[in-house]
A and B are shown apart, each in its own frame.
Chain A
Amino acid sequence: DAGVTQSPTHLIKTRGQHVTLRCSPISGHKSVSWYQQVLGQGPQFIFQYYEKEERGRGNFPDRFSARQFPNYSSELNVNALLLGDSALYLCASSLESIGYGGYTFGSGTRLTVV
């Protein structure tokens, strides 16, 4: 079985642009969460989706949005990019919304804003 897959692996954008990051969960997993990991820090929670509904939102501005599709894949969108949005964006999937067994993470998308 494939693990959590994220695309693209690397991305360079200019300030003010828009970016879309994609995540495919493990087959059968219905929950997807997004985290931002700034260099030298632990990941920070952005969103969680379960069965296509938002179940949690972290302390991020409205420039950040996400959605989950019927096949449980997910997109994270960031508008009006700032230099401070440069980070590794991690996607995690779990079988259920609570994630009792822990979350399985992808290898992330490295976003650089110049």
Chain B
Amino acid sequence: AQTVTQSQPEMSVQEAETVTLSCTYDTSESDYYLFWYKQPPSRQMILVIRQEAYKQQNATENRFSVNFQKAAKSFSLKISDSQLGDAAMYFCAYRSALMGDSGGSNYKLTFGKGTLLTVNP
């Protein structure tokens, strides 16, 4: 079974500064997807960024970028020019890319325990 580990329960950053959130995962599969989701107090999980394992290029979405190290099974999120609105819980998630039915494991997201990000003005 796949596992996702976020080793930083809490992180803080000054507004306009850069912060990096860590995520490691364990899998025996070679093809998969990795996601970072943001969960503000409104509770809705919002997709921040997505990475396909077969792509060597790191994904970037505006101020958000990832450092994907497949061999090390590491998937960190970098937030540049942090804003007050970035304050939230951040979850790293894994999903298999395997097709077909294998007990439903293909379709689920496996989440880490999350990192609470505080942005200080």
Residues of A within 8 A of B (CB): 3, 33, 35, 40-45, 48, 50, 54-58, 88, 90, 92, 97-108, 110
Asked if residues B91 and A102 are in contact (CB atoms below 8 Å), the reply is no
Q: How far is the CA of A35 from the CA of B33 in the complex (A)?
A: 18
- Closest-by-CB residue of A relative to B104 is A56
Q: A42-B113, A102-B47, A105-B45 are in contact. Are A97 and B107 (CB under 8 A)?
A: yes
Asked if residues A42 and B107 are in contact (CB atoms below 8 Å), the reply is no
Asked if residues B44 and A107 are in contact (CB atoms below 8 Å), the reply is yes
Q: How far is the CA of A8 from the CA of B114 in the complex (A)?
A: 25
Q: Mark B30-74, 1 if CB is under 8 A from A, else 0.
A: 000101010000111111001000000000000000000000000
- Closest-by-CB residue of A relative to B9 is A40
Q: How far is the CA of A110 from the CA of B41 in the complex (A)?
A: 13
Q: How far is the CA of A43 from the CA of B39 in the complex (A)?
A: 11
Q: How far is the CA of A63 from the CA of B112 in the complex (A)?
A: 25
Q: How far is the CA of A77 from the CA of B106 in the complex (A)?
A: 23
Q: A101-B50, A107-B42 are in contact. Are A40 and B113 (CB under 8 A)?
A: yes
Q: Give 8 CB contacts A-B under 8 Å.
A: A40-B113, A42-B4, A42-B114, A45-B110, A48-B104, A58-B108, A92-B109, A107-B44
Asked if residues B111 and A43 are in contact (CB atoms below 8 Å), the reply is yes
Q: How far is the CA of A97 from the CA of B95 in the complex (A)?
A: 12
Shortest CB distance B114–A (Å):
6
Asked if residues B108 and A103 are in contact (CB atoms below 8 Å), the reply is no
Collect the chain A residues with CB atoms within 8 Å of residue B103's CB.
Answer: 56-57
Collect the chain A residues with CB atoms within 8 Å of residue B47's CB.
Answer: 102-104
- Closest-by-CB residue of B relative to A90 is B45
Interface residue B105 (Cβ < 8 Å from any Cβ of A): yes
Collect the chain B residues with CB atoms within 8 Å of residue A98's CB.
Answer: 99, 106-107
Collect the chain B residues with CB atoms within 8 Å of residue A97's CB.
Answer: 107
Asked if residues A42 and B95 are in contact (CB atoms below 8 Å), the reply is no
Q: Find B108's partner among A33, A40, A41, A90 (CB 8 Å cutoff).
A: A33
Collect the chain A residues with CB atoms within 8 Å of residue B50's CB.
Answer: 101-102
Asked if residues A48 and B108 are in contact (CB atoms below 8 Å), the reply is yes
Known: A45-B109, A45-B110, A103-B109. 20 other contacts (CB 8 A): A3-B44, A33-B108, A35-B109, A40-B113, A41-B114, A42-B4, A42-B93, A42-B112, A42-B113, A45-B108, A56-B103, A56-B107, A56-B108, A90-B43, A97-B107, A98-B107, A99-B107, A107-B43, A108-B43, A108-B44
